[in-house]
Amino acid sequence: MTELAGRLRVAGLIFHGMADLDCPFIPPTLATAAAGYPPPSGQWPTSSVEVDVQDWVAKANKGWFELSRDGGLFSADREFLVAVERHEKEWWWARVGLADTWDVMGAGAAGALGSGFGLPGFVMLSLAGDVIVCGLEWQSSIGAVLVSHFSELRSLREFAEWRAGWQGTTEWDQVTIRSWLRALNE
């Protein structure tokens, strides 16, 4: 866990431990897919910056922070969950706090939160489990998408049910997906 804490610290995230495995949070693999299921309004709130703009990483960081803050990702103490790989092909939520200085889209994306500097690939979840923020790269821009009230999306729930029964889904994902679906039906 010290290695994970170090990788998250580069992004300005303070590791507070792993979320309880018994908490019926949406699994990270489903949370990543949630942005692909649009709300009734047609589009999720996004923040994006073209990569050919001066200071694009700083602007993408600012956009991520404002979207996350205004959309309800952060607790009062600026804590939230971020998806991390616990074991090979087993993703779960780490509880983190946002440090006074941070860089999720640059140094963070070069470490635990993406595939390189300025190439974000992360998914975050509010402590209440009701707000998702995904850091993404598009053809010529990077940014974030905020997804809320996702448990109400019938198409996402149907996808989750299919995914839980699909033979290509890992046993870990099957268990966590079924746990989340059970919690929604209680």
pLDDT in tens, 112-134: 999 999 999 999 999 999 999 99
Phi-psi region of 173 (alpha: psi -120 to 50; beta: other; left: phi over 0): alpha
pLDDT at 89 (0 to 100):
81
* pLDDT at residue 10 tops 90: yes
Is residue 28 pLDDT above 90, yes or no? yes
pLDDT of residue 166: 96
In this prediction, what percent of the chain has a pLDDT beyond 90? Answer: 91
Q: How far is CA 109 from the centre of its chain?
A: 13
Q: What value does the mean pLDDT take over residues 8-21?
A: 96
User: Where are the strands (E) in the chain, listed by range?
Assistant: 13-18, 46-50, 79-87, 90-98, 114-116, 119-120, 122-125, 131-137, 141-148
Q: What is the pLDDT of residue 60?
A: 98
Per-residue confidence (pLDDT) for residue 77, from 0 to 100: 97
Percent of the chain with pLDDT over 70: 99
Quote the pTM value.
0.95
What pLDDT, on the 0 to 100 scale, is given for residue 102?
Answer: 98
Tokens 């073209």 belong to 50
Count CA atoms closer than 13 A to 4's CA, side-chain side. Answer: 17
